[in-house]
Structure 1
Amino acid sequence: MTAEIAEGWSTEAFATDEVENMCIKMKADIEKKTGVHFDVFIPKTFRSEPKCGGHYLVKVKVGIDEYVHMVVCVVNEDIDKCLTVKGVQYPKSKSHPLEPFGKLPTACGK
């Protein structure tokens, strides 16, 4: 068992419809943070952590072998309304492992 799983992160899984919809809503924020417009934006895999509504760590395909890793916070468990990008790593490749990064806040709305 890795430290991340012990701290509450799930194992990596294929992106669900819920994760895909969340990523589509976050695309403009990710483009702003990276300074890049992505013609391709396909969520591939994700991990989740239930802290304060939920954090999602998602690997998104944005090119032939180009990926973005993003951390999204869902405030108050309302995935349709309260999404905040908490971190972005770009560029990444398909072979880069999807590992938690940065320090997640204890209160997602702050």
Structure 2
Amino acid sequence: MMCGGLTELQNGNDEIQKICNIVKSQAQQKTGKTYDVFIAKSYRSQPVAGTNFFIKVHVGGDDYVHIHVLQSLPHVGAGLELADIQESKRHDDAIEYF
């Protein structure tokens, strides 16, 4: 991985699912939708002043969203913030920087 670049695609795991669980309400507020299903399927990350996570999330049926979450450095104390969300994604859509 190049410094500052995105990592290779990785499968969702418990850590990434925890991030999704924390920002789920922010995603629902931003889209005006309620998600009964919100499961991390895959992700890429980017080390910056903290870490950017770009996560593909299954939200039911054939529907997915891509979320961009910023995890601040521990000394900043800001925690996790949903920076952006892309709706109307599919299983095969690549996760890119946004």
Does TM, normalized by the shorter one, top 0.5?
yes
Give the alignment's Cα RMSD to 1 decimal: 1.8
Report the CA distance between 1:65 and its aligned residue.
Answer: 0.8
Tell me, in whole angstroms, the C-alpha distance in 1 between the residues paired with 2:35 and 2:22: 14
Tell me, in whole angstroms, the C-alpha distance in 1 between the residues paired with 2:93 and 2:78: 30
For structure 2, the residue ranges without an aligned partner over 5 or more in a row are: none
Q: What TM-score do the two structures reach when normalised by structure 1?
A: 0.80
Tell me, in whole angstroms, the C-alpha distance in 2 between the residues paired with 1:12 and 1:77: 25
2:80 matched to 1:83? yes
Which has a greater percent of helix? 1
Which has a greater percent of strand? 2
Q: What TM-score do the two structures reach when normalised by structure 2?
A: 0.90
Aligned to 2:61: 64
Please list, as runs of the form range in 1=range in 2, the aligned pairs for 1:20-99 lying within 5 A after superposition.
20-77=17-74, 82-99=79-96
Aligned to 1:106: none
Matched residues, percent identical?
32
* Total equivalences in the alignment: 96
Instruction: Give structure 1 regions of 4+ aligned residues with deviation exceeding 4 angstroms.
Output: none
